[in-house]
Amino acid sequence: MANPEKVAAVAEIREKFESSSAAVVTAYTGLTVAQLKELRRSLGTNAQYRVAKNTLTKIAANEAGVTGLDEFFTGSTAVAFVTGDPVEAAKGLRDFAKSNPALVIKGGFLEGKPLTAGEIEKLADLESREVLLAKLAGGMKASLAKAAATFQAPLTKLVRTADALREKTAQQEETASA
C-alpha cells in the first residue's frame, strides 16, 4: 500500500507539472542553502524552484503526461516550474549556473515537448517575450507605412500631373492672347 505522504507529494508535483508552461530539471549538488535561496530569488515570481525525489517526480511527470524527462531524474534533482515567461526563467538559471558551476542544467520541457540542456541554453539566448512582441509590432508598423506610401504615390503623381497640365494650359492661353 502506498504511503499517504508520498501520494500527496506526487499529487502536488503532478499539479505543478500540469499548471506549468515549462520546467527545467537541474542538478544542485554542492550548492549551499544560501545559494539555493539566491537562485530562487533570481528566478522571480514566474518560476518556482523545488528540490524533489527522483522517483516521485518521475511518477508525477508521467501522470501529468510529460514524457521524455526520465533520463534527467538521476542524482540530486531540483525542478524549476515555470508559469510565466520561460525565456526569463531559462536566463535566470543559465546566469546563475555561470556564476555557480555546481548548478547543472540537465534538461526540461516546454509546452509538453522535452528539451535538452543545449536547447534550454538556446532558449535563454532569446530575447524576452515583450521585446519580441515589440519588434514584431515595429515591423508591422513599418510595413503598413510602406503600404500607405505605395497607395498614396499614384494619387500624388496624378495631382502633380494635373497641376502641370493646368500651368501649361494657362501659359498657352497667355501666349495665344498676347
Question: Is residue 129 scored above 70 in pLDDT?
Answer: no
Q: Give CA 123 to chain center in angstroms.
A: 7
The dihedral built from the CA positions of residue 136, 139, 141 and 143, taken in this order, carries a sign that is: negative
The more confident residue out of 149 and 76 is 76
Distance CA 56, CA 22 (A): 18
The tens digit of pLDDT for each residue in 51-97 reads 888 888 888 888 888 888 888 888 888 898 988 888 888 888 888 88
Max CA distance (Å), the chain: 117
Say if CB 22 and CB 111 are below 8 A apart: yes
- Could you tell me the three cell numbers for 100? 555557480
pLDDT band at 103 (very low <50, low <70, confident <90, very high): confident
The pLDDT of residue 178 is 65
CA-to-CA dists, residue 121 to 2, 24, 79, 92, angstroms: 38, 11, 16, 11
First to last CA, the chain: 117
Phi, then psi, of 64 in degrees rounded to 5: -80, -5
